[in-house]
Amino acid sequence: MIDRLNEQYGLHGHVHFAGGRGGMPRALIANDHADAEVYLHGAHVTAFAPRGEAPVLWLSPDAVFTSGRAIRGGVPIVWPWFGPHGSDSTKPQHGFARNLQWQVAATRACADGSSEITLELTENEHTLALWPHPFRLEHTVRAGRGLSMVLTSHNTGDEPVSLGAALHSYFSIADITQARVEGLEECTYLDQLTSRIVKRQPGPVTFDREVDRIYFGAPRDRVIVDATAGRAVHVATTGSRSTVVWNPWVDKSRAMADFPDEGYRNMLCVEPANAGDDVRVLAPGEHHTLTATISITP
Ligand code: BG6
């Protein structure tokens, strides 16, 4: 399979395929601007670093790479529902797209020196048992000085579908207690820990306990200020009116088998999403695109 992928989609100086952890195929992107890694499992970006910079994404050292499970860290794709399934708790949290192997559809060397890979997922017996709708999901990852991700959901069936989604980005943070998220000031949020709507975020989001919130209607880019690292991570998005901010803190870190007990100190999720009331209804033939563009500045 790796040989076939390299023959068909390998691009000298841009994209190379290799076996990864758990024997899973992955695309390794290396160009003049950046290094990145994308597993076909989940169309999951597991690493991104502009050349000469420290890793932008956090990947759990205890992540499990196996069919049917999500990789902990990087950018899992949450789809077609966010969080627990609305009516059936036996269905996987955050949907199934992150648990399945996708197909490579294209690779591209871009004029600005960045590299692109597009992966696709369509319905099969397994997805139809969990969610009875045909679909085509397309994810394009472009790595250059920044990282851009473009997730397009196509309703290929003959009934309307309701979609929740998130580009569940785990960022690497030098010290969470010194970090803050700007750009969500004044936004209303759903506190997922209490199920309460809070009317207004007072100032930047800071971290001294577990945080699990869905912010609505942020008017500008979110900026993670990683003060200890001396850098800022900018998260721009389109197709989204909701942003999830999550840090599991002490107890939840301990409770997750694929997450180190102290892992919460060095990570933060800021997730461009279609979550909460921001689910999207697609009529037959319609599509919706959710994007995230990530860049860093000193
Ligand atoms: C976040 C949710 O997006 O993902 C949290 O807001 C959840 O509630 C977290 O705990 C991790 O979810 P999972 O399924 O990857 O463990």
Q: Are 61 and 47 in contact (CB under 8 A)?
A: no
Helix (H, G, I), strand (E, B) or coil at 97: helix
The alpha carbon of 36 and the centre of ligand 1 are apart by a number of angstroms equal to 24
The atom of ligand 1 lying closest to the CA of 82 is 3
> Is 85 a catalytic site residue?
no
Q: Which atom of ligand 1 is nearest to the CA of 168?
A: 3
Residue 49 CA, ligand 1 centroid: distance in Å: 24
271 is catalytic: yes
Cα 175 to middle of ligand 1, angstroms: 21
DSSP-based three-state secondary structure for 99: helix
State the amino acid at position 26 in one-letter form.
R
Q: Per-residue confidence at 251, pLDDT binned at 50, 70, 90?
A: very high
Q: Which atom of ligand 1 is nearest to the CA of 214?
A: 6
CA atoms within 13 A on the CB side of 33: 16
Active-site residue among 133, 271, 286, 287? 271
Q: Residue 295 burial (CB < 10 Å; 0-12/13-18/19+)? A: middle
Q: What is the pLDDT of residue 50?
A: 98
Angle (CA) 81 93 204, round 5°? 75
Provide the pLDDT confidence category of residue 245 given band limits of 50, 70 and 90. Answer: very high
pLDDT tens, residue by residue, 167-221: 999 999 999 999 999 999 999 999 999 999 998 999 999 999 999 999 999 888 9
Residue 68 in contact with residue 101, Cβ under 8 Å? no
Candidates 269, 271, 278: which one to mutate for ligand 1, based on the most atoms within 8 Å of Cβ? 269
Mean pLDDT over 98-104 rounds to: 98
- State the DSSP H helix or E strand holding residue 251, giving kind and residue range, or none if neither: helix 249-255
Mean pLDDT computed over 117-124: 98
User: What integer pLDDT is reported at residue 219 of this predicted model?
Assistant: 84
Q: pLDDT tens digits, residue range 17-73?
A: 999 999 999 999 999 999 999 999 999 999 999 999 999 999 999 999 999 999 999
- Report the separation in Å between the CA atom of 244 and the middle of ligand 1, taken as the mean of its atom positions: 9
* Alpha carbon distance 274, 200 (integer Å): 20
How much of the chain is in helix, strand and coil states, percent to nearest 5? 10, 45, 40
Q: Mean pLDDT over residues 138-167, rounded?
A: 98
* 94 Cα nearest atom in ligand 1: 14
Residue 293 in tokens: 């563009």
What DSSP character marks residue 98?
Answer: G
Instruction: Give me the mean pLDDT over the 220-246 stretch.
Output: 97
Question: Taking the model in full, what pTM does it have?
Answer: 0.98
DSSP character string of 174-227: S-GGGEEEES-TT-EEEETTTTEEES---SSEE-SS-EEEEEE---S-EEEEET
d(CA 128, CA 281): 18
Mutate which of 44, 167, 212 to test ligand 1's pocket (most atoms within 8 Å of Cβ)? 212
Residues with CB under 6 A from ligand 1: 70, 93-94, 168, 192, 212, 244, 246, 271
- Catalytic residue (choose from 33, 116, 168, 234): 168
CB atoms within 10 A of CB 234: 16
